[in-house]
Amino acid sequence: MQSSAALEYDYSVAKLYMWTAVIFGIVGMTIGVLIASQLAFPELNYLFGEYGTFSRLRPLHTNVVIYGFTVSGIFATFYYSAQRVLKVSMGESKLLNGLGYLQFILYLIAATGMVISELMGITASKEYAQMEWPLDVLIVVIWVLWGVIMFGLIGMRREKALYISMWYYIACFLGVAMLYLFNNMEVPTIFFSGGVGAWYHSVSMYAGTNDALVQWWWGHNAVAFVFTVPIIAIIYYFLPKESGQAVYSYKLSLLSFWGLMFVYLWAGGHHLLWSTVPDWMQTMGSVFSVVLILPSWGSAINMLLTMKGEWNQLTENPLIKFMVLASTFYMLSTLEGPIQAVKSVNAIAHFTDWIPGHVHDGVLGWVAFMIFAALMHMATRAFKREIYSKSLLEAQFWIQTTGVVLYFTSMWIAGITQGMMWRAVDEYGNLMYSFIDTVSVLHPYYTIRAIGGLLYLIGMFMFAYNFLMTATAGRKLEQEPQFRSPMA
Amino acid sequence: MTLTEMQGYAFFFLTVFLVVILYGYILHLYRSEKKGERDYEKYGKMALDDELHDRPVEANPKVTNEKKES
Ligand code: HEM
- The tens digit of pLDDT for each residue in A434-448 reads 999 999 999 999 999
Q: Which of A421, A322, A308, A430 is nearest to A367 (CA)?
A: A322
CB atoms within 10 A of CB A123: 18
The pLDDT of residue A303 = 96
Structural domain span for residue A89: 12-473
Is 50 exceeded by the pLDDT of residue A190? yes
What is the per-residue pLDDT across B31-41, written as a single tens digit (0 to 9) for each? 998 998 888 99
Contacts of residue B42 in chain A, CB cutoff 8 Å? 250
pLDDT digits (tens, 9 = 90+) for A458-486: 999 999 999 999 999 999 999 999 999 99
Pick the residue of B41, B50, B55, B62 with the most A CBs within 10 A to test the interface with A by mutation.
B50
Residue extents of the structural domains in chain B: 3-69
How many angstroms is it from A388 CA to the middle of ligand 1? Answer: 30
Instruction: Tell me if A479 is assigned to some domain.
Output: no
SS3 label, residue A454:
helix
User: Could you tell me which residues come within 8 angstroms of residue A181 by beta carbon, excluding any fewer than 6 positions away?
Assistant: A140
- Is the pLDDT at A1 greater than 50? The verdict is no
Q: Which of A70-79, A96-105, A272-281, A380-389 has the lowest mean pLDDT?
A: A272-281
* pLDDT at residue A12 greater than cutoff 60: yes
**A427: pLDDT strictly greater than 60:** yes
Residue A70 CA: nearest ligand 1 atom is 30
Residue A152's alpha-carbon distances to A86, A141, A268, A348, in angstroms, are 11, 16, 32, 49
Q: Does B8 touch chain A (CB under 8 A)?
A: yes
Cα dihedral sign, A109-A77-A178-A146: positive
% of chain A with per-residue pLDDT over 70: 99
> What is the number of the ligand 1 atom nearest to the C-alpha of A36?
10
Strands A202-204 and A186-188 turn out to be: antiparallel
- Residues A287 and A266: their CA atoms lie apart, in Å, by 9
Question: Which chain B residues are within 8 Å of A291, Cβ to Cβ?
Answer: none
pLDDT (average), residues A386-407? 97
Q: How far apart are CA A417 and CA A410, in angstroms?
A: 11
Instruction: Give me the mean pLDDT over the A280-297 stretch.
Output: 90
The values of phi and psi at residue A5, to 5°, are -65, -40
Q: Does residue A173 contact residue A145 with C-beta atoms inside 8 Å?
A: no
Q: Does the pLDDT of residue A98 top 50, yes or no?
A: yes
Euclidean distance between CA atoms B58 and B54, whole angstroms: 11
Rounded CA gap, A328 and A301, in Å?
Answer: 9
Q: Given this model, what pLDDT does residue A2 score?
A: 45
Question: What are the pocket residues of ligand 1 if the criterion is a CB atom closer than 6 Å to any ligand atom?
Answer: A 29, 32-33, 35-36, 39, 58, 61-62, 65-66, 69-70, 355-356, 359-360, 363-364, 367-368, 453, 456-457
**Mean predicted confidence (pLDDT) in A39-50:** 95
Number of folded domains that form chain A: 1
ipTM rounded to 2 decimals: 0.81
| pLDDT score, position A3 | 47
Question: CA torsion, points A159, A163, A165, A167, in degrees to nearest 10?
Answer: 100
Ligand 1 centroid – CA A18 distance (Å): 21
pTM: 0.93
Residue among A26, A33, A65 to mutate when testing ligand 1 (max atoms within 8 A of CB): A65
Span A205-259, pLDDT tens digits: 998 888 888 888 888 888 889 999 999 999 999 999 999 999 999 999 999 999 9
Q: How many CB atoms lie within 10 A of CB A311?
A: 11
Q: Does A160 reside within a domain?
A: yes
CB pairs under 8 A between A and B: 103
Residues 6+ apart with CB under 8 A from B20: none
Rounded distance, CA A171 to CA A165, Å?
10
What residues does A425 pair with on adjacent strands? A431
Whether the predicted pLDDT of A168 surpasses 70: yes
In chain B the first and final C-alpha atoms are separated, in Å, by: 68
Using alpha carbons, select from A343, A350, A318, A464 the residue that is nearest to residue A415. A350
Residue A33: band (very low, low, confident or very high) from pLDDT cuts 50, 70, 90: very high
Q: Is residue A36 part of a domain?
A: yes
CATH assignment at residue A389: 1.20.210.10
Q: Are A20 and A108 in contact (CB under 8 A)?
A: yes
* Position A427 in a domain: yes
What pLDDT sits at residue A5? 52
Higher-scoring residue by pLDDT: A449, A215: A449
A160/B60 Cα distance (integer angstroms):
4
Within 8 A by CB and 6+ apart from A275, the residues are A209, A212, A282
For residues A279-303, give the mean pLDDT: 91
Quote the CA–CA distance of A43 and A466 in Å, as a whole number.
34
CB crowding A62-76: b at 16 or more within 10 Å, else e: bbbbbbbbbbbbbbb
Q: Does B30 lie at the interface with A, CB-CB under 8 angstroms?
A: yes
**Angle (nearest 5°) at CA A261 between A210 and A166:** 125
Distance from the alpha carbon of residue A32 to the mean position of ligand 1, in angstroms: 6
Rounded distance, CA A354 to CA A473, Å? Answer: 43
pLDDT of residue B64: 53
pLDDT computed for residue B69 by the predictor: 44
pLDDT score recorded for residue A442: 96
Give the model's pLDDT for residue A452: 98
Angle at A382 between CA A455 and CA A241, to 5 degrees: 75
* Alpha carbon distance A143, A74 (integer Å): 13
The whole-angstrom separation of Cα B26 and Cα A168 is: 19
Q: What is the mean pLDDT of residues A76-104?
A: 96
Residue B68 pLDDT > 60: no
Centroid of ligand 1 to alpha carbon of A181 (angstroms): 25
pLDDT at position A278, please?
84
Average pLDDT over residues A190-211: 87
